[in-house]
């Protein structure tokens, strides 16, 4: 029993050290890829298609302020204020579920960065536990600006397109710095399900969501809302 306890303690220390160092390094080093992109690439090996993954890192300063506000308004309006978890949003989602509504996500941008970088899609207690663990490490070691910067670069915006840098070039033939409000909000509108929704051929729902995001951006106060990051 003592040997097992020592082995378990050593294993825990090794795993913690490895994951902590991985997160700490990415505080300064821009990730060349993500878990989601690697999974997509591996999936291509066993399919009949061979399209290239579109991914282009863009620094925070070179991303349109409209794009930054659009994703915050769309995905995590309390982003500047929480510590990785929006318990109010989680409570609302749980109450809707108890009333018979559909189970909707309440993941913050920090949680989505943790999932996209290190984990996999799907619903399981193991994945959610690991997501919470990596979210805590990210919030403890990165600034809010760094978290948003990584999210803007890793978020899937199409079937094989990741990040605002690639999305702006693929969909609008402009650099990320020149995305206007209409373009940025259209990209943000497909974020809940980029495999189903399209920037190129937006459905009525995507257009409705785009208008909602524009309204939310105005109510939050525009780009000044993120000035303190």
Q: Residue 1: is its pLDDT beyond 60? A: yes
CA angle, corner 184, sides to 208 and 63, nearest 5? Answer: 160
**Beta strands 161-162 and 54-55, pairing class:** parallel
Q: Residue 100: is its pLDDT beyond 80? A: no
Domain span including residue 115: 33-226
Residue 14 lies inside a defined structural domain of this protein? no
Q: Residue 99: is its pLDDT beyond 90? A: no
Q: Which of 116-125, 138-147, 197-206 has the lowest mean pLDDT?
A: 116-125
> What HEC string does the chain produce?
CHHHHHHHHHHHHHHHHHHHHHHHHCCCCCCCCCHHHHHHHHHHHCCCCCCCCEECCCCHHHCCHHHHHHHHHHHCCCCCCCCCCCHHHHHHHHHHHHCCCCCCCCCCHHHHHHHHHHCCCCCCHHHHHHHHHHHHHHHHHCCHHHHHHHHHHHCECCCCEEHHHHHHHHHHCCCHHHCCHHHHHHHHHCCCCCCCCCCCCCCHHHHHHHHHHHHHHHHHCHHHHHCCC
Query: How confident is the model over 7-50, as pLDDT tens digits?
Result: 888 888 998 999 999 999 999 999 999 999 999 888 777 766 66
Residue 6 lies inside a defined structural domain of this protein? no
Residue 15 lies inside a defined structural domain of this protein? no
Instruction: Tokens for 43, please give them.
Output: 């999936």
Residue 4 lies inside a defined structural domain of this protein? no
> Please, are residues 162 and 53 in contact by the beta-carbon 8 Å criterion?
yes
**So what's the pLDDT on residue 92?**
63
Closest CA to 66 of 176, 175, 192: 176
Higher per-residue pLDDT: 47 or 120 = 120
Residue 85 lies inside a defined structural domain of this protein? yes
> Please, are residues 26 and 137 in contact by the beta-carbon 8 Å criterion?
no
pLDDT-based confidence at residue 86 (cuts at 50, 70, 90) = confident
Instruction: Tokens for 221, please give them.
Output: 């106060």
Q: Residue 104: is its pLDDT beyond 60? A: no
Handedness of CA 176, 168, 148, 89 (dihedral sign): positive
Residue 173 lies inside a defined structural domain of this protein? yes
Can you give the CATH number for the domain in which 209 is found?
Answer: 1.10.3810.10
For the chain, the average pLDDT equals 90
Query: How confident is the model over 182-229, as pLDDT tens digits?
Result: 999 999 999 999 989 999 999 999 999 999 999 999 999 988 999 988
> Please, are residues 200 and 159 in contact by the beta-carbon 8 Å criterion?
no
Q: How far apart are the C-alpha atoms of 55 and 165, rounded to whole Å?
A: 7
**So what's the pLDDT on residue 98?**
57
Q: Residue 103: is its pLDDT beyond 80? A: no
Q: Residue 101: is its pLDDT beyond 70? A: no
Higher per-residue pLDDT: 95 or 214 = 214
Give mean pLDDT, residues 70-84.
95
**So what's the pLDDT on residue 189?**
98
Domain count, the chain: 1
Residue 1 lies inside a defined structural domain of this protein? no
């Amino acid at each position: 029993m003592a040997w097992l306890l020592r082995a378990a303690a050593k294993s825990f220390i090794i795993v913690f050290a490895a994951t902590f160092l991985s997160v700490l390094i990415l505080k300064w080093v821009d990730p060349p890829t993500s878990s989601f992109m690697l999974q997509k690439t591996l999936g291509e090996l066993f399919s009949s298609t061979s399209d290239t993954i579109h991914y282009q890192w863009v620094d925070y300063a070179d991303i349109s302020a409209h794009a930054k506000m659009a994703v915050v308004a769309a995905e995590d309006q309390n982003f500047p204020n929480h510590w990785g978890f929006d318990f109010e949003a989680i409570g609302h989602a749980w109450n809707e579920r108890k009333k018979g509504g559909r189970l909707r996500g309440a993941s913050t941008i920090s949680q989505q960065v943790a999932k996209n970088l290190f984990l996999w899609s799907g619903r399981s207690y193991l994945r959610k536990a690991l997501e919470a663990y990596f979210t805590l490490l990210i919030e403890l070691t990165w600034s809010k600006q760094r978290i948003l910067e990584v999210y803007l670069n890793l978020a899937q915006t199409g079937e094989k397109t990741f990040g605002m840098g690639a999305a702006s070039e693929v969909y609008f033939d402009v650099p990320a710095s020149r995305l206007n409000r209409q373009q940025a909000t259209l990209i943000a509108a497909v974020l809940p399900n980029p495999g189903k929704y399209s920037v190129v051929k937006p459905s009525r729902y995507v257009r409705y969501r785009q208008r909602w995001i524009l309204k939310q951006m105005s109510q939050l106060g525009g780009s000044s809302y993120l000035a303190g990051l």
